[in-house]
Amino acid sequence: MVQQDPPGGVEAQLLPELFRTADKASLDGQRETLRWYRGLISMLVIAALIGSFPGPDDKGDFDVWPLFSVAAFLVAGYFWSRLRRSNPQGRWYEARAAAESVKTLAWKYTVRARPFDGPAESADVDRGYLLQLEDVLRAFEDPEIVPPDTVAEITPEMRRLRAENLTARRTFYLRTRVEGQRTWYRSRADACESQAVSWGLGIAVLIILGAAAAVAQATGALQVHVFGVSSAAAAAIIAWTQLKQLRPLAAAYQLAARELENVGNQLSDLDVRAPDAEARWARLAAEAEDAVSREHTTWRARRAFPR
């Protein structure tokens, strides 16, 4: 799952406060989600590990190890209840969708992309942008994501850059938004792919270890039930990688990077002196933003924690 790096430099000055609010809520939700899931999975593996220890030699002796397993299961149940009750995963997805919606609208307004094309100063365009931003405020009603006193705004930097000529806007947009986002997508795709391969090797090792332990236990050469522990550990890794969505994210990031590269090339080749340059720019810049936001349209559909 996505964790967007906070914008820096000019982009940080460009984006409205609503973006920073939603972005912080998303990062907080992500940290909380991963913390509780990490604890839940760890406790289940620990419970399996404790259960693998052999019991007392004398059948009449009290076996204390199952009590530790019960304690681990109780802690795991607590972590599960926290995930269900507070639903940080839903807040993570919801806030990320809000943040990216705001960022896309801000960039479209700034560079005069559709539907905010036209003259630099236009009351109709300003009104249209603010109305769409207010739609975002209404769509994400959780006060932990969008505080009730949040208002739609156009930042001074957005107005300043919108007033620039087409050449200046194109140079700024290609360097700051298109190339920056494409580089981020590619680096994240590589990171997700690398992590997926590493976790996959870990699962393979655990499967081999578990099979060997099962054979050793069947022949009486091993008294500790390593087979159960390795199975639980392998299942834990599978659950963790499913939570992180490494393979799907890597594919989505690679696709978004390719789309941005194609649109970026068209934007670079645009003849700014042509009579229809502004109209073509408005269309292509909107396509670039659509390529960026397409990956985020799935966030709200995947946001709810199962109850």
Task: Record the pTM.
Answer: 0.84
Q: Spell out the residues 6+ positions from residue 262 whose beta carbon is closer than 8 angstroms to its own.
A: none
What pLDDT does 1 receive?
A: 43
CB 195 within 8 A of CB 53: no
Please give the residue that has the higher pLDDT: either 276 or 4. 276
CA nearest neighbour of 44 among 304, 306, 231, 245? 231
Q: Spell out the residues 6+ positions from residue 114 whose beta carbon is closer than 8 angstroms to its own.
A: 108, 282, 283, 285, 286
Helix, strand, or coil (residue 242):
helix
| pLDDT 10s digits, 245-286 | 888 888 888 988 998 899 899 999 999 999 999 999 999 999
Pull the structure tokens for residue 117: 């094309």
| pLDDT 10s digits, 33-88 | 999 999 999 998 998 888 777 666 656 666 777 788 889 999 999 999 999 998 89
